[in-house]
């Protein structure tokens, strides 16, 4: 079996492994292995094949890591709609009360229970529909619905 066939089998094996793990980093390694297979196809020695595969794989991995796909956006769990399904839902506030320090708060019925509601900075305290932006304990942080 020739060198390029061995490298190609390695590419297929790494791609299959990537399907089970769900990480793009293994695809970058597969690109390096494919480059090594290409070098083998052109008849280079094993040392050159290894160097080509390592350089291409490392470069592709670094490029992925530096891209927006390599570093996921960090969000506080209290504001993450993937962690808290209530974020993005709406509540209806009938009246606002002013508490200590001028903070505007309210009580609303949401999901069958009474919740404390607090305005997000910059939101307007008028009665109406509000969108949940964050949950801190039993307090809903909301902003005005547009």
What's the token pair of residue 66? 């530096």
Expressed in angstroms, the distance from the first to the final Cα of the chain is: 66
Q: Residue 82 above 90 pLDDT? A: no
Average pLDDT, the chain: 90
Q: What percent of the chain has pLDDT over 90?
A: 60
77-144: CATH superfamily: Nucleic acid-binding proteins (2.40.50.140)
pLDDT value, residue 74: 74
Q: What gap in Å lies between CA 20 and CA 4, rounded to an integer?
A: 25
Q: Return the half-sphere exposure (C-beta side, CA atoms, 13 A cut-off) of residue 98.
A: 4
The pLDDT value recorded for residue 40 is 96
Please give the C-alpha separations between residue 125 and each of 51, 71, 94, 110, in angstroms, as whole numbers.
64, 37, 10, 18
Instruction: Confirm if 117 and 142 have CB atoms less than 8 A apart.
Output: yes
Q: Give residue 90's pLDDT.
A: 93
d(CA 43, CA 50): 13
pLDDT at position 53 is 97
Half-sphere exposure of 33 (CA within 13 A, CB side): 17
Query: 141: which residues sit within 8 A by CB, 6+ positions away?
Result: 117, 118, 119, 120, 132, 133, 134, 135
Chain region(s) in the chain for CATH 2.40.50.140: 77-144
Determine phi and psi for 117, rounding to 5 degrees: -125, 135
What are residue 135's DSSP bridge partners?
A: 140
The bridge status of strand 139-144 relative to strand 128-136 is: antiparallel
How do residues 15-61 score in pLDDT, each as one tens digit? 999 999 888 899 999 999 999 999 999 999 999 999 999 999 999 99
Assess whether pLDDT exceeds 90 at residue 124.
no
pLDDT at 106: 92
Q: Is pLDDT at 102 greater than 90 in this prediction?
A: no
Q: Answer yes or no: is pLDDT of 75 > 90.
A: no
């Amino acid at each position: 079996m020739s060198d390029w066939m061995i490298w190609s089998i390695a590419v297929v094996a790494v791609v299959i492994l990537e399907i089970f793990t769900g990480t793009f980093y293994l695809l970058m390694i597969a690109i390096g292995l494919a480059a090594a297979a290409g070098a083998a196809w052109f008849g280079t020695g094993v040392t050159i094949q290894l160097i080509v595969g390592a350089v291409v794989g490392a470069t592709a991995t670094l490029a992925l890591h530096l891209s927006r796909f390599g570093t996921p956006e960090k969000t506080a769990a209290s504001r993450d709609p993937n962690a808290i399904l209530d974020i993005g839902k709406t509540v209806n506030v009938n009246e606002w009360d002013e508490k200590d320090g001028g903070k505007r708060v309210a009580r609303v019925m949401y999901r069958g229970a009474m919740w404390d509601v607090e305005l997000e900075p910059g939101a307007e305290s008028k009665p109406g529909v509000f969108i949940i932006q964050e949950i801190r304990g039993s307090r809903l942080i909301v902003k005005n619905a547009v």
